[in-house]
Amino acid sequence: MKSAGDGRLLSADLKLAGRLDARFFALLAALEGTGSIKRAAATAGLSYKGAWLMLEAACNLANEALLHTTTGGAGGGGTSLTPPARALLAAWRVLEDRQREFLRRQEAEFEQLAALQGLLRRMSMRTSARNQFAGRVRTVEFGAVTAEVSLALGSGELITATLTCDAARRLGLVPGAEALALIKSSDIVLANALDTAQVSARNRLDGVVSRLEREGADALAVLTLPGGTAISASLAADAIDALGLAVGRPATALFKAYAVMLATRA
């Protein structure tokens, strides 16, 4: 079944007995088709050890045998599903079909709610950018080659993006249009004591450090802006001490306009 990341608004994880999920039944289906746990594991995208652990856990909890194994002989042996296992697999396929149809019907209802549909579409977008902000275009200024777009976030902050004029027109960026601003955390520079400093970065967002995470030589800092928006920046771990960053202290996120990628709904 497609997930929200595949363009669907709704998704759900189906499980039987609280533990038998899609991976387990993909393994059973592959085992039914190949007659070999090794080949079935490869088909289902599992390691051989992982497949065995999954099957053993299920077999230990079942009150009937799920697998029938033969060794040696002219065919070299193999593993097949017992009738209870085949019945279990068939039941799963029926439930999957019913769940898929149920979600399809519910999504069709959501499609009638324009505001909710737009919200869910924005939230379901998957990108490599850690920072994703929804807003509305405030201004668009076209130059000879590039356009400058000002995006007003729902929390009140403004973000400026620079892109080609062709891209701005293709995305339908006009005042009032909804858009997403995508910014990689690696494109954000943190600073402090910038009340009077002049910097070349077009975007400057002042906030308070709300989280710091260190992992070896790397670190992640999260700033919460006055409107409640959180913005993340990647930096070297030793930069935290050099900048005097600490949870609760003010800091500034800086990023250039060309580091902002804009996206709109098709």
- Reported as a single tens digit per residue, the pLDDT across 56-115 is 878 777 777 888 888 655 555 688 999 999 999 999 999 989 988 888 887 777 666 555
Q: What is the CATH number of the domain that holds 215?
A: 2.40.50.100
Tokens 């950018």 belong to 129
Residue 208 lies in a domain: yes
Q: Which pLDDT band holds residue 229 (cuts at 50, 70, 90)?
A: confident
Give the pLDDT score at 29. Answer: 92
Query: Average pLDDT for residues 39-64, to the nearest whole number?
Result: 84
Q: What is the CATH number of the domain that holds 55?
A: 1.10.10.10
Distance CA 146, CA 179 (A): 18
Greatest mean pLDDT range, 61-75, 184-198, 200-214: 200-214
Is there a single domain that holds both residue 103 and residue 9?
yes
Give the pLDDT score at 110. Answer: 65
More confident residue, 72 or 222: 222
Is residue 201 within 8 A of residue 189, CB to CB? The reply is: yes
Distance CA 253, CA 229 (A): 12
What are the CB-based long-range contacts (under 8 Å, 24+) for 155-160?
Answer: 155/225, 155/226, 155/227, 155/228, 155/229, 156/226, 156/227, 157/205, 157/225, 157/227, 157/229, 159/133, 159/135, 159/183, 159/203, 159/260, 160/202, 160/203, 160/257, 160/260
Residue 40 lies in a domain: yes
Give the pLDDT score at 228. Answer: 81
Q: Which pLDDT band holds residue 123 (cuts at 50, 70, 90)?
A: very low
Is residue 79 within 8 A of residue 31, CB to CB? The reply is: yes
Find the domain containing 19 and state its range: 4-110
Q: How many domains does the chain have?
A: 2
- Tell me: pLDDT of 2 over 50: no
The string of pLDDT tens digits covering residues 129-173 is: 578 888 899 999 999 999 999 999 877 889 999 999 999 999 999
Share of the chain above pLDDT 90, in %: 38
Q: Which pLDDT band holds residue 6 (cuts at 50, 70, 90)?
A: very low
Residue 61 lies in a domain: yes
Q: Which of 252, 102, 137, 235 is nearest to 192 (CA)?
A: 252
Give the pLDDT score at 117. Answer: 53
- Tell me: pLDDT of 4 over 60: no
Residue 14 lies in a domain: yes
Distance CA 174, CA 260 (A): 17
Give the pLDDT score at 20. Answer: 86
Query: Average pLDDT for residues 216-242, to the nearest whole number?
Result: 89
Residue 132 lies in a domain: no
Is residue 219 within 8 A of residue 236, CB to CB? The reply is: yes
Is there a single domain that holds both residue 106 and residue 189?
no
Residue 158 lies in a domain: no
Q: Which of 75, 92, 110 is the last residue of a domain?
A: 110
Give the pLDDT score at 140. Answer: 96
Give the pLDDT score at 1. Answer: 37
Distance CA 108, CA 117 (A): 10
Q: Which of 75, 94, 110 is the last residue of a domain?
A: 110
Residue 87 lies in a domain: yes
Give the pLDDT score at 54. Answer: 86
Q: Which of 263, 203, 262 is nearest to 233 (CA)?
A: 203
Is there a single domain that holds both residue 100 and residue 16?
yes
Residue 197 lies in a domain: yes
Q: Which of 60, 84, 110 is the last residue of a domain?
A: 110
